[in-house]
Amino acid sequence: MKIDSHQHFWKYHPIKEAWISEDMKVIQQDFMPADLFPILQENNIDGCIAVQADQSEEETHFLIQLAANNDFIKAVVGWVDFKAVNIEERLHYFSKFDKLKGFRHIVQGEAEDDFLLGDDFCQGIALLEKYNFTYDLLILPKHLSYAAKFVARFPQQSFVIDHLAKPNFQSANVSEWEKGIKELATFKNVYCKVSGMVTEAHWSNWKAEDFKYCLDVLVDNVGIDRLMFGSDWPVCLLAASYKQCCSIVENYFSTFSKEDQNKIWGGNAVKCYHL
């Protein structure tokens, strides 16, 4: 089964989606399952994982409802307030939804670089294992050293790095990112999505070769058993078509064994998110 492990849906609202700036006009519109389904079919993708873009429980319910109405949405990564005093009550409540497989917080948007290490946040994260939920790490290279300390606290918890932790493909220097990825990759409970690359490159002038070095680092350190394809649709449309995102991954892994390619294209996502 081929799985797109990372994409989004939204009914565009300029206040709720305030992060979509004026230079992102191409995605200042609604993106719903009816828009994605034919694209998945064209690219021979069997299903997808819908990931939160807004930090609210309303967003989580919105995605759960879309998944309930569309069989091709295989899983949801939602949002919940991990700092809330009633966090266990909320996780218990959300555990009744079969397609809700995990949660994410937009750490890259927090003022504190060490946000992940906050005691109140970690107390909430500590409860995820009990309910068999994953946690997606949306972070930048500057957060990687903190992420390693964070992950070390939860050796049985499944974590997924979104978008390679966003190395700057426009810069020749990815040493901070490489050092951080190598450290985080030592934890065998950490997966990584091969996603979100084109939007960290020059939007109108990227080349597939721009991504090779970082992909080499991932393969050598995270390993084939913990990498998974993600499109980051529709955000990817800022810089590339869905097909182009697929082609980058297809071409890079084309010399790998069929077994390894199957892991990247769905097997690892099925394992990680219990699809």
Which distant-in-sequence residues (6+ apart) come within 8 Å of 67 by Cβ? 50, 73, 74, 75, 76, 99, 100
Q: How many domains does the chain have?
A: 1
Task: Report the CATH number that the domain containing residue 184 is assigned in CATH.
Answer: 3.20.20.140
pLDDT greater than 90 at residue 227? yes
Question: The domain containing residue 8 runs over which residues?
Answer: 3-273
The answer to whether 31 and 9 have CB atoms below 8 angstroms apart is: yes
| pLDDT band at 228; cut points 50, 70, 90 | very high
Q: How far, in Å, CA of 207 to CA of 22, rounded? A: 25
pLDDT at 174: 93
CA distances from 180 to 29, 222, 258 (A): 35, 12, 30
pLDDT greater than 90 at residue 13? no
pLDDT digits (tens, 9 = 90+) for 161-210: 999 999 999 887 899 999 999 999 999 999 999 999 999 999 999 999 99
The answer to whether 130 and 156 have CB atoms below 8 angstroms apart is: no
